[in-house]
A = this chain, B = another copy of it.
């Protein structure tokens, strides 16, 4: 699943470290997310949605199968 985490983070002028702290996850989680190594849990998606002030669907692009 594609995502715009990196773009949105940079748009806010934040480092991966700062973002991870705000979301209460590890920096590794942010790195892996941005690199597309795995999909987030729905709770992490909601946290990002709230922080970035946009819908989950605007951050994560779902293509079926």
Please state if B41 and A39 are interface contacts (CB–CB under 8 Å): yes
Interface string of A38-65 (1 = CB under 8 A from B): 0111110111011000011100101010
- Of the residues B55, B60, B64, contact of A42 by C-beta under 8 Å: B60
Q: How large is the interface on A (under 10, 10 to 19, 20 to 34, 35 or more residues)?
A: 10 to 19
Q: In the complex, what residues of B have CB within 8 A of residue A1's CB?
A: 42-43
Within the complex, the shortest CB–CB distance from A40 to chain B, in Å, comes to 6
CA distance A39 to B41 in the complex (A): 8
Q: Which of A45, A49, A55 has the largest count of B CB atoms less than 10 A from its CB? A: A45
7 A-B pairs closest in CB distance: A46-B62, A42-B45, A56-B56, A42-B42, A39-B42, A40-B42, A39-B43
